[in-house]
Amino acid sequence: MAAPTFSALLADRARRAPEEPVVVDDRETLTARGLDTAATSLAHTLRRRGVGLDDTVTMSMANSVDVVIACVGVWRAGATPQLLDPRLRREERAALEGLDRPAAAIGAAPVDGSIPWLPSARVAPDAGPLPDLAASSWKAATTSGSTGRPKIVRAAAPARLDPERPVAAFLPRTGTQLVAGPLWHSAVFTYAFRGLLTGQRLVVMDRFSSDDWIDRVETHRVTWGLLVPTMMARLLRLPEAQRDPARVTSLHAVLHMGAPCPPDLKRAFLAWLGPERVDEVYAGSESNGLTLIGGVDWLAHPGSVGRPIGGTRLRIRDDRGDDVPTGRPGRIWMHRGDDAAYAYVGARSRRDADGWDTLDDIGHVDADGFLFVHDRADDIVNRAGTKVAPATVESALASHPDVVEAVAFGVRDDDLGSAVHAVVRLTDDPAPLHDILAFGRSRLGPVPLDALHVTTSPLRNDAGKVRRSSLADEFAPHA
């Protein structure tokens, strides 16, 4: 028997507890009945605009209750939601629209004026009956990657779910989830909506702020939340009184992922919340495999992202495709089930005939089976034959107390092939830049760092992601 549709699950929640608050943002609280009513009206409007089963509907909206209404309305219409970063450049959005022409757009206007457009998810009321539909793909994440080539990652799973199963074995099934990252990011989207569908209440931040995060945990008795390392660093920079552990006692778990976490930052974060409450997952939008490590295991294997879970198998291979010995770096390959969990639009999958797949990350496995991720293969800097992982340089610089953010990248060099550069964003009254460079080099030892730049602008987006090629173009002329 097929699992219930997303639409049916949320309609049932509205029938069982109509006045239960299910989504909260800075402006309003939406009840189960309010969400069900607004989503039904939107679904009717979309269907009148020609949206049908398995069509794609794009949404370009800032975090809010309206994003949740939009997604539920799209699922109720039988379509697949595709959230876009509202700050996408016009040419990037045009490229995505060309890859997988959406049947409609909600929020910011599409580049292609022929695509039916709804400026808002709030439409005229319509409570008429609708068929119980489930799109064959429950989400279509988008990414431009470090090269700027857009692609779409369509989930292979339909918009159906067993509500008795938790979002993940390591997270609570019910409770209150604090959504601090942008919902257009695949991991944030996945955990938020899987949580909503299993009975969680969502507290949605329009944009991450460290003091606001603490306030919301305390006010709403938040059970768990997802963070990226840049958010963790900002939380630890709050005055101790402001981040008093007594204010966050409701938290059962904090999950972090999305980018490498510098060991010094991770150790400090575990000391603040306690290692039993902090988990880290390594995975991609493709859901082709994942690893997990809890805080206690991390302290025994610092720097690791854990061991495979959820039926995932792991191999480390060299460029010829041969397995490498324990402890030696190579490309990370994972196997999770016989069928692919995703399909690319605008790119070719690396999945082989036996079901092994790679996100093109480099790493190694220790003798206990714990995975250590070095960096993206495309981001590794080959400096005169020495291969340097940007994450190693970033971790060394970020351990300086005056460094708020650090990003490393390669710059073409006539003598070295590529030189290792980094850019830092600093606190208000920092040490001289040459002192910070000397500090970083002392932590790096034999790992080279050729040049250091400074900026006042954030280096990573709200999802903790960075486009290194753009930074190289921006800062290389000023070396």
Question: Is the Cβ–Cβ distance between 293 and 305 less than 8 Å?
Answer: yes
Rounded CA gap, 57 and 39, in Å?
A: 14
The DSSP result for 234-268, as a single string, is HHHTS-TTTT-GGGGTT--EEEE-SS---HHHHHH
Worst-scoring range by mean pLDDT, 56-60, 229-233, 241-245, 284-288? 284-288
Residue 179's nearest CA partner among 301, 332, 366, 26 is 26
Non-local (6+) Cβ contacts of 198 within 8 A are 161, 163, 165, 166, 167, 173, 174
User: Which value, to the nearest 10 degrees, does the dihedral of the CA atoms of residues 417, 452, 448, 326 take?
Assistant: -100
Q: Could you tell me if 23 and 107 are in contact, meaning their C-beta atoms sit under 8 angstroms apart?
A: no
Q: Do β-strands 361-365 and 330-335 pair in parallel, antiparallel, or remain unpaired?
A: antiparallel
Q: What pLDDT, in 10s, does the model give residues 174-207?
A: 899 999 999 999 999 999 999 999 999 999 999 9
Q: Which of 250-254, 398-402, 473-477 has the lowest mean pLDDT?
A: 473-477
- The correct answer on CATH 3.90.1150.10 for the domain covering 380-478 is no
Rounded (5°) CA angle 159-163-164: 145
Q: Which pLDDT band holds residue 466 (cuts at 50, 70, 90)?
A: confident
- C-alpha torsion sign, points 41, 46, 48, 54: negative
Which residues are registered as beta bridge partners of 223?
none
- Per-residue pLDDT band for 147 (boundaries 50, 70, 90) equals very low
CA distances from 219 to 67, 172, 215, 245 (A): 22, 19, 6, 14
Residue with tokens 């206007």: 109
Q: For residue 139, what are its two tokens?
A: 């989400």
Show the beta-strand stretches assigned E in 283-388. 291-294, 307-308, 313-317, 330-335, 342-345, 361-365, 371-376, 381-383, 386-388
User: CATH topology for 260-378?
Assistant: Luciferase; domain 3 (2.30.38)
Buried (b) or exposed (e) across 255-291, using 16+ Cβ within 10 A? bbbbbbbbebbbbebbebbebebbbbbbbbbbbbbbb
The better pLDDT of the pair 437, 478 is held by 437
Can you tell me whether residue 195 is helix, strand or coil? helix
The pLDDT tens digits of the residues spanning 314-355 come to: 999 999 999 999 999 999 999 998 888 888 898 888 899 899
Q: Is the entire prediction scored with pTM above 0.85?
A: yes
Average pLDDT for the chain: 93
> CB-side exposure of 317: number of CA atoms within 13 Å?
14
What pLDDT is stored for residue 146 in this prediction? Answer: 44
Signed CA dihedral, 317, 318, 324, 327: sign only: negative
Q: Residues of CATH 3.30.300.30 domain(s) within the chain? A: 380-478
What are the pLDDT digits (tens) for 61-118? 999 999 999 999 999 999 999 999 998 889 999 999 999 899 999 999 999 999 999 9
Q: Where in the chain is the domain with CATH 2.30.38.10?
A: 260-378
Q: Report angle CA 15, 35, 61 to the nearest 5 degrees.
A: 160
Q: How far apart are CA 74 and CA 80, in angstroms?
A: 7
Task: Give residue-wise pLDDT tens across range 260-286.
Answer: 899 999 999 999 999 999 999 998 878
Q: What count of residues does the chain have?
A: 479
CA dist 106 → 51, 60, 96, 180, 477 (Å): 12, 7, 15, 22, 40
